């Protein structure tokens, strides 16, 4: 996931990802990043540079929650580039409007986004994310029984927990990608930490073993959300650790 590298030019971003030894990129389309929502055509530059380094643009992560002109443009460019998966945005829980009202809105929005994805021939996915109304497989299935799901054990741990085997039972072959990160207790709460550090709340060796036993053969995307002074070194250390765990 390219978030730690900020707004690097496309060529430098691709060279950085290649130097780390990654197979490809989960590119974040967001303000302050290489590609922003108001300039989605920069996706072409990133895809070209990744290809030049023998890598692929495997996932495009967005904050899309409505099937508006921005979504239409981004999905259109992703379709042109053959991007395998586009991750949508989040529907956050807020006690003021309440769960049911947010759920009704999210269902309508997701149905419209799914239709837009079908029109462009692009696969769009809903991520399991803490602080939302879709923090678990069970909650995600209340929003949509159509879209694939981006599994994220780290986010699920931040929210609470849902046993991984049950998540896999519920989602079946709809898991499109698995986010990899970890957190540890710091004082009264959980905080993100390097994947390569000890003491994380997600048992990644066991998690990867369960995914293999269940036949998951899709992409793993490394996320690094913790504070870092040298993003390249930090992500490189985590990626080397993930490759060791995945061997």
Spatial contact of 40 and 78, defined as CB atoms under 8 Å apart: no
pLDDT in tens, 13-58: 999 999 999 999 999 999 999 999 999 999 999 999 999 999 999 9
**Best CA proximity match to 113, nearest among 162, 156, 62:** 62
pLDDT value, residue 188: 83
| Residue that has been written with the tokens 């599994």 in this structure | 151
* Low-confidence stretches of the chain (pLDDT beneath 50): none
Q: What is the DSSP letter of 157?
A: H
3-state secondary structure of 196: coil
Domain ranges in the chain are: 3-246
The CA–CA distances, whole Å, from 140 to 136, 158, 221 equal 6, 16, 20
Other residues' Cβ atoms within 10 Å of the Cβ of residue 233: 11
Other residues' Cβ atoms within 10 Å of the Cβ of residue 46: 25
**In angstroms, rounded to a whole number, what is the distance separating the alpha carbons of residues 160 and 158?**
6
pLDDT value, residue 157: 94
pLDDT value, residue 235: 98
At the topology level, CATH places domain 3-246 in TIM Barrel (3.20.20)
Q: What is the DSSP letter of 85?
A: -
pLDDT value, residue 247: 85
The DSSP-derived string for the chain is --GGGTT--HHHHHHHHHHHT-SEEEEEBSTTSSB-TT-TTHHHHHHHHHHHTT-EEEEEE----S-SHHHHHHHHHHHHHT-S-EE----B--TTT-HHHHHHHHHHHHHHHHHHHHHHT--EEEEP-TTBS-SSHHHHHHH-SSS-EEE-HHHHHHH----HHHHHHHHGGGEEEEEE-EEEEETTEEEEE-TTSS--SS-HHHHHHHHHHTT--S-EEE---S--S-HHHHHHHHHHHHHHHH-
């Amino acid at each position: 996931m390219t978030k730690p590298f900020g707004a690097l030019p496309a060529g430098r971003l691709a060279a950085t990802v290649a130097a780390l030894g990654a197979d490809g990129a989960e590119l974040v389309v967001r303000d302050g990043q290489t590609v922003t929502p108001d300039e989605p055509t920069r996706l072409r530059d990133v895809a070209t540079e990744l290809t030049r380094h023998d890598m692929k643009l495997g996932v495009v992560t967005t904050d899309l929650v409505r099937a508006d002109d921005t979504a239409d443009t981004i999905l259109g460019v992703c379709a042109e580039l053959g991007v395998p998966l586009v991750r949508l945005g989040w529907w956050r829980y807020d006690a003021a409007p309440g769960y049911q009202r947010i759920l009704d809105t999210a269902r309508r929005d997701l149905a419209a986004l799914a239709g837009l994805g079908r029109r462009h021939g692009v696969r769009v996915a809903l991520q399991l994310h803490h602080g939302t109304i879709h923090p678990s497989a069970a909650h995600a299935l209340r929003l949509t029984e159509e879209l694939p799901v981006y599994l994220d054990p780290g986010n699920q741990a931040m929210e609470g927990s849902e046993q991984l085997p049950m998540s896999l039972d519920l989602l079946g072959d709809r898991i499109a990608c698995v986010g990899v990160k970890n957190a540890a207790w710091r004082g009264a709460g959980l905080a993100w930490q390097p994947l390569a550090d000890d003491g994380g709340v997600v048992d990644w060796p066991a998690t990867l073993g369960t995914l293999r036993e269940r036949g998951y053969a899709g992409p793993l995307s490394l996320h690094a959300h913790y504070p870092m002074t040298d993003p390249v070194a930090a992500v490189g250390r985590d990626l080397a650790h993930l490759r060791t765990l995945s061997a």
